[in-house]
Structures are given as structure tokens and as C-alpha cells.
Structure 1
């Protein structure tokens, strides 16, 4: 393990260190009126969601995975008073529009809290009544919006190889989440002096999210050109990776439908073993993929390919590939289990994956294909429309 504890060159290598965020009071600040704004379809019951998340964390711990918690890393990055003040300024600057008086009140309020409580408050949001303002009538209740999507730690920043992509999120609701990654890698004692390479920066104008970034091998990185990730961002990250002599030789840009149902690449397929993937049946036809390489004259070479997913993967991974269909391909079961992220699995070792218990048809198929399945309860976690991979950001995997 290098000094930074950063090493992710696959989707399936033995998982040793992972970042989580247990759902907190930000979930309690969801109401029907603001679900669309905050990117939710339903309101999870926090008490049960926390129990389910603790079960998820216990499964990881029982498999010898060290857990880092987002709120702890952020708080540990803000121990210097001047850094804490800069952080508060930044989250207010990028928050919802407020008057100067409101900003001053928010600043004073956040500065009055301990670092740990201030971080949690930024995550949960600040209601008007907490700082003495009225919420009567049509007043919007928040001076600072909650961040209910935070338990999906996969998206705001992603460890790729020996570096990190601090992403630019597509929606305003999630843009502030990447501030946490910026402060962790700039100021946390374990990472600020570790010379961690930066593949992408949150201030770039083009969007890219972690759910679209899949590490298929030490040579091959897949990135989805999706509803949330721009083509220009993929080209930029490819240049940065190739220019820094990272091990990856090929970056595959997958064209996937630009709809919420296919939000990220990891909602339509994830890697289970060296030669096995789970897949949403809707992408089993011809796919367009741009294979990006680096030529000797420091220019990108892009070759457009069109074929089935299994053939594309077989060619680039140099092995036969088995695709396991979400819901067994049955029209109703596949649609239902895909809605509950049946294709979104977290491998903790080759052929050993964490899934949602409710996707029982897909889980049975995985078992029949010699995949060791660890199902977790998810009646409330799944309401956020993200699976085990979405809820985790590996910091260290053993090489395979």
C-alpha cells in the first residue's frame, strides 16, 4: 500500500479500504414539494435506512474492509481555523442565493459549531427557523439546501488507479458535494502531501460523475457518455491520465441513453468476476463505443466500434465474457429489479459481490453462475435509486 492509501486498478480486486456516508438528517429534510429539486423519487424512513446502512457497513467490516466515513475525513481536513473559514465561504458561495444579511447569519451560525457538527449541518442543510427567520407563508424553508444524495459516495469523486477524479456534477443539487473531495485531498493529513494525481477538477466546465467511471482492468478504463457525463469531460480525463504515464492503455467511452433510467454506466452493467458482468437487458443490442488510445506523438487516437456488449468487453479484456441479465431478462422482473438497482453490484473480491436482497431473481442467477452473493436489506436505502456500488467509493483494492 502506498503512503496515500490510494490504489484502485480494477472493479473486482480484494477491497481493503472504502469510503461511505451513513444517511443522516439530510434525509429528514426531504418533503414531497422538493423531491424533484433534490433528485429523489420518494422519502426514505431515516431510522430504518440507518439500520440498513449499518448492516452494509458490518458486511464490509466482516470481510476485512476498512471503512472511511466522509464526514470524518472532511472534519479532519478542517482542523486549521483558516481552512475551516475558507470551507464555509465556499459552501455558502455555491449554495442557494441568499441576501448579504442571510449569508452573514449563516456564517456566524456555522462558525459557532464544532468542526464535526458544522460539517454535518452543511450536509443536512440549514432551515430558516434554525437561525431566527420565519418559515410562514410561501417562504422556502431552507437557507442552505440539504444534500440527501450524499450516501451515494461513488459520484462526487472517484479513485482511479493512483489518482483521483474530483468530478463536476451535472445538477446544481449535487455540485456542492464535490467541495468535500477538494478539501480532503488538499488538506487532510493523510492525503495533502501524498502527491496524488488529479485526473479531473471540479471547476472544469464539462460534467462527469463517478457512476460513469468503471475500472475494468489495469489497462482498460470504461466511462459512460450518459445523461450526467459529457463527452468533452471524458476526452479531458483521458488526456490527463495518458499524459501522467498512468498504466491504463485504453479508455472506452460507452454511449448510453441520455435518460434518468440509464443515469450512469454502473446502473446498466457492473463487473462481478474476471469474465462475468451483470447487465440491464435493454443494452444488449448493438452499442457504440469510442476506444481512446494514446499515440507516440502525444495525440489521442479514437476508434469508433459498434458491437454487442459481450463482444466489446471480450475484445478489450482478451477473454470470453458471460453477461448475466438483470431479472433474468423477463420483461416485468427485469424492469422491477432494474428500478431497484439489480445491475448495480459491489464486488469485494473476484466473484464475491454485495447486492440488494430484494433483487432475488437476479441474485439467484448470480448464484447459479458461481458468483458468491451477499444480499443486504434495502427497503429504505433503495428509495434513493442507487445500489451497493453507488453507496461506496473504494480507496484501495489489491491488484489482480
Structure 2
């Protein structure tokens, strides 16, 4: 039998923090109390047209306005009682211990695919010379070749110039904090992301949960680990209620990863009894499940009309106990509302992005009109530019909206849910 996956072995003499007090997500709509964000930084300024494909962007946001929009997002959350934590600040606090800092630097350089022992050594010295806050910001923003003194680099690969401007690539996707990990119940899926470009983002979460004072003494189970060989990303994981998960089999998430999460959730005797694996189209428009499907109330969902169905959904359930665990998988072909009604036990309303209009729906879906962040039942954060969808949510369905400006943030192809990682929600 597989044992509980923990971030580290727990010594009996260690002070144990109840994970329920630091992590708790048993629904998509329970009142949000603590959230992790990343304020866009200089990594956005290091985007160029030639690098967009490599760095998984479609456009280049204007950083000044993107930061103003993101600050508005954070302020709305704070005004509604949400504690806002920033990834960059937690990372700085995590490396206050010199031994942790050195391990972190070496792993970061290794996963940035820096070639040549001499160049690696030069980069270690460069990073080690920086104050911690500057170090984290530089890792996130990327290291240009011109920033390193090549005369001290005794290797051919460090001396040769080519047209590529970076030694370490920038990480512009960091403001989408939803994807590198996901809180499920009081545990974590620390994800292995599809591309090397984004998988480096999970290094920060790895060190934060292992070493930050807020988390390091908590006995936090891991439902997935970044060292796995198959991929999964947080935008594909939705906690429908305290017994049911929805996970997308998508462009970014493998079916094998869902198998692993199910086994660990069921073996560890969590409250989760059912995982619904949605087989969604492999395309940019359907990149993650939450780009086409988010929950705004107990019985209401915003959707892209392309996901209505009939859909192929695999219902995965636990049979037996921890000593004789069996996992049952039942393939279903049904409409989305019928699947949700069966598992949530209520009549379901699907709210189409752009009111289902062929033009407005496609346009607002491109701008993440179906990607909302619930801060409580019937209360969500949305982008201002999706005015057709917003009007329907508010006027027809009585959903309270917190509207944020979005001209620049939306250029990264992610909405309010993508930009947030809830750490603690009140139970419904």
C-alpha cells in the first residue's frame, strides 16, 4: 500500500502545524480567505516578438499598465477580506537561510539548462552576490548575456556569442499562479508542467512549502509531485465540492497524472470520492479546463459553448478500503449539465460566454470571459472587457461582480482564476 506522500519525513520532535489551518480548499466557491498572487515584473519587459512562441505568449503586455491592473485585482480581494500573499515575497523569505539559498540557486541553474561547468560557476557567483530580493526578481525576469562578465568564464560555450539574448530565460507566465500547483482539500498537487518553460516555475513552490516558516512545519500531503514524468497543470483542476473533483485531460494534462492523483487521494482516505476526468479538445482555446468552465454558484457555471457536449467524461471512484483499494472507471458520454447535475445533486444552469452569440462568444472566450474567480457563492471577479458575459451574469443571474481592468493582463491569455491560487477557502 502506498503511504501518504509528504513533502519531507516528519520527525516526532518537530512542531507540527495542522495543515487545515494553512491550506483548505473544498470547493470553488467557498469564501476566499487566503490567496497567492504574483505581481507581473520585469519578466514581461523581456518578451520580444521572436520569443513569444518559446515563452508561450501571444502578445506583449505593457508592464506599467499590467501592474496597475494587477494591483486593482489585489486591492479588490483585500477589500473583501482576502489575505493576499505574493509568490515573490514568500520566495525571498524562504531563502533567508544560506544553505537553502545555495541549494535553490544550484537547482534553478540546473533546470534553466545552463551549459558548461564554468558558465554555471560564473552564474552561481553572480546570483550569490545579489541581495535576496534582487536575486528572486532576477531569476524571474531572466538573465541577459550582457549581464555576465564573460572574461571570467573559462569555457567555449560561455565565450561564443549567438543571437539568443538570454543565459536564463524570463518567466513571464508566473502571474498565472493557478498552474504550478493546486490546493485540493488540505493537500497539494505540486505539478509537473507540460513545457520546460513553465516547469521551472514550480521550483519556487517546492522550496516555499519545504522551507518557508508558514508552511515548513505543517504535515502537508502531496497528491502529485513535480518530479513525476507525466504532466498536469492547475488550470485543469477544479474542486466542485468536498467529495468531487473535475480534472481536464487537455493540451497540458495527461490521463496518467489523473490516475496518480486519484490513487493518492483514495489511498489517504480523504473525503474525495469521485474524480470526473473531462476529455477536452487539445487546442489553444481549450488550453485548460478553467478556460472554458468555471463555477460561480452552487448550481451555476460560466462556460464556453464548445464544452456543452456531448462530452466524454470518465467517472473515477473508489471501491474497497485502504487495504483492498480498487479504482473503478466508468466512461460516460453526456451533456455537461447532466453530468454536473448527477454529481452535485441539483439542477444546473450553464451561463454561456458572450451569451452564446457566435461572434461575441468567440471574442470574449479569447479574453477569458468564462474564467472567473469566485470569492464567495454568487460573487466573482471578472475582466472588464467581457462586457456581454458580465451583463448576463449580473442582470439575468444576479451574480455580484467585482470588475477589474484588463487591457494588458488579458494579453497573456488567462483570466482572474488563472491569476490566483487559493490557499484557504471556508467550507460551504
TM-score range, shorter chain: over 0.9
8 A Cα contact 2:37 2:177, kept in partner: yes
User: TM-score, normalising length from structure 1?
Assistant: 0.98
In structure 2, what is the equivalent of residue 163 of structure 1? 187
In structure 2, what is the equivalent of residue 389 of structure 1? 417
Residue 284 of structure 1: how far off its partner (Å): 1.4
Mapping of residues 65-144 of structure 1, within 5 Å? 65-133=82-150, 138-144=162-168
User: TM-score, normalising length from structure 2?
Assistant: 0.92
8 A Cα contact 2:69 2:405, kept in partner: yes
8 A Cα contact 1:135 1:141, kept in partner: no
Mapping of residues 307-318 of structure 1, within 5 Å? 307-318=334-345
In structure 2, what is the equivalent of residue 362 of structure 1? 389
Q: CA offsets per residue over residues 196-232 of structure 1, 9 Å max, x none?
A: 1101000000100000000000010110000000000
8 A Cα contact 1:268 1:280, kept in partner: yes
8 A Cα contact 1:129 1:135, kept in partner: no
Matched, 1:276 2:300: yes
Distance 1:259 1:145 in 2: 25
8 A Cα contact 1:251 1:291, kept in partner: yes
Matched, 1:189 2:213: yes
Equivalent pairs, count? 400
Distance 1:349 1:265 in 2: 20
Matched residue SS, 1:261: coil
Matched, 1:262 2:248: no
Q: CA offsets per residue over residues 120-171 of structure 1, 9 Å max, x none?
A: 1111111011113499974311111100000000000111101011000001
8 A Cα contact 2:19 2:219, kept in partner: no
Q: 1:298 to 1:136 in 2, by over 3 A?
A: closer
In structure 1, what is the equivalent of residue 14 of structure 2? none
Matched, 1:146 2:146: no
Residue 275 of structure 1: how far off its partner (Å): 0.4
Distance 1:128 1:100 in 2: 16
Which residue, 308, 314, 331 being the options, matches 1:304?
A: 331
Which residue, 245, 253, 272 being the options, matches 2:269?
A: 245
100-109 or 257-266: bigger deviation: 100-109
In structure 2, what is the equivalent of residue 38 of structure 1? 55
Task: Specify every segment of 5 or more residues in structure 1 that has no aligned partner in the other structure, as ranges.
Answer: none
8 A Cα contact 1:4 1:191, kept in partner: no
Distance 1:47 1:321 in 2: 41
Residue 340 of structure 1: how far off its partner (Å): 0.1
Matched residue SS, 2:241: coil
Residue 3 of structure 1: how far off its partner (Å): 6.2
